[in-house]
Amino acid sequence: MLRSGAAPHARTGSPSSVSILKVARIGHPVVRASARDLASDELHSPEIQRLIDDMKETMDEYEGVGLAAPQVHRSLRLAVIEVQASDERTEQAVPFTVLANPVLTRLGTEILTGWEGCLSIPDLRGLVPRSARVRLEALDREGRPYTVEAEGFFARVIQHECDHLDGRVYLDRMEDMRSLSFFKEFRTYAAPDPDEA
């Protein structure tokens, strides 16, 4: 999901610093493949710990609120989420959260429809129905299991990122493709608030 239409800027750093990763766009096979679980020892490896840091850096660079490993060409059941308190789509901030091997359970039958965008589908927005409440069971970056119940925008972000791990994108969830809009047109004609997307 994107927060704004701003283009990312290039950063440079030493080889030991975190990196901004190349984002896989729709059409690349990794975006449509089901990702594999991470083994416990793999999660603790320096390679995966570095990947987590790089994913956070990439998400921040593109002003996203979530990023899944398949979006950066790694077919692993791994995602990161962070929502700033200043984000007008949410009522409260979500601290940086790692989702390793997540299991998602939808709670109740209420469905909310909201606008979504995606780093793998640049410059487009669409109306997507999602469960209003979900339960997430996952491992954190240290491999500790945790459970969280989420609603509203946080629940939407969790579902969006978990879809990526199953080879799905928000276009697959849209009930009416007529809402699909380029970002400029979305901001001009559809967004209820200029800072909504």
Domain ranges of the chain: 29-190
Dist CA 47 CA 20 (whole Å): 15
- Is pLDDT of 90 > 90? no
- Is pLDDT of 3 > 90? no
* Whole-number pLDDT of residue 6: 36
The catalytically annotated residue of 82, 116, 161, 196 is 161
Dist CA 98 CA 78 (whole Å): 7
Closest alpha carbon to 23 in 77, 64, 84:
64
- What digits encode the pLDDT tens for the residues 92-122? 889 999 999 999 999 999 999 999 999 999 9
pLDDT band at 197 (very low <50, low <70, confident <90, very high): very low
Q: Is 161 a catalytic residue?
A: yes
Please answer whether residues 40 and 143 qualify as being in contact, where contact means their C-beta atoms are separated by less than 8 angstroms.
yes
DSSP helix/strand/coil, 46:
helix
pLDDT band at 190 (very low <50, low <70, confident <90, very high): confident
Second CATH level (architecture) for the domain 29-190: Alpha-Beta Complex (3.90)
Q: Which residue has the tokens 């729709």?
A: 26
* CA atoms in the 13 A half-sphere facing the CB of 92: 6
